[in-house]
Amino acid sequence: MRSGWRKGIHFWFILPGVGIASFAISYFSHSGGSVTFEEPVGTDVAKGAALYLEYCASCHGEELEGEVNWHTPKEDGTLPAPPHDENGHTWHHGDDLLFNYTKLGGQVALEAAGVSGFQSGMPGFADQLSDREIRDILSFIKSSWPEKIREIQRQRTEGATTTERAGN
């Protein structure tokens, strides 16, 4: 008796559900990209890899492994460069913060996000790299992460957009 009841419920729930899902899919695919991100569409991972080696690897490591003892502050109070692979915390942040961190440097990016009193050892690359090149590098970094971590970072990007942009 119970299973018959359940079947009936499923039937009536699934049908309108399919309708809503197909409406949502067609709505979003017609809305011209309002739910898409700037990466990885239009970014060049291979170019990002080359740029990473040239501009970032000296501190963050050729294999994205970070500096040794990256958890321990240096004598000047700054932290060593963390890894960019899945062992670090780069993927804990949404795209806006990662982009600003690279373009403006850690100090400015954190102050823009409302964090003050932190001494950052991460320089800004606004004079050396174009916005596009920075996105290429970030795409390369992301390409090293397992899909599960990429998905979490995507969600952080969606959730963080409003609050982080508000600080800019």
Which residues would be at the binding site for ligand HEC (CB under 6 A)?
A: 55-56, 58-60, 78-82, 88-90, 93, 98, 101-102, 106, 120-123, 125, 137
Please say which residue, 33 or 159, places its beta carbon nearer to ligand HEC. 159
Kindly state the smallest distance separating residue 117's Cβ from ligand HEC, in Å: 13
Whole-number minimum distance, CB 159 to ligand HEC, in Å?
Answer: 17
Q: Smallest distance from the beta carbon of 166 to ligand HEC, in angstroms?
A: 19
Instruction: With beta carbons less than 8 A apart as the criterion, state whether 65 and 56 touch.
Output: no
- For the bound state, the minimum distance from the C-beta of residue 72 to ligand HEC, rounded and expressed in Å, comes to 12
Of the pair 29, 130, the CB lying nearest ligand HEC is at 130
Q: Which is nearer to ligand HEC, 112 or 122 (CB)?
A: 122
Residue number, 88 or 94, with CB nearest to ligand HEC: 88
Q: How far is CA 156 from the centre of its chain?
A: 7
Is the CB of 45 or the CB of 56 nearer to ligand HEC? 56
Q: Which one-letter DSSP state was computed for residue 113?
A: T
Specify the amino acid at residue 133: E
Closest separation in Å from C-beta 147 to ligand HEC: 20
Reported as type and span, the H/E element at residue 103 is: helix 95-104
**In the 8-state DSSP scheme, what is residue 145?**
S
Q: How distant, in Å, are the alpha carbons of 15, 16, 17, 21 from that of 5?
A: 16, 18, 18, 24
**DSSP readout, 5-63?**
HHHHHHHHHHHHHHHHHHHHHHHHHHTTSTT--SSSTT--HHHHHHHHHHHTHHHH-TT
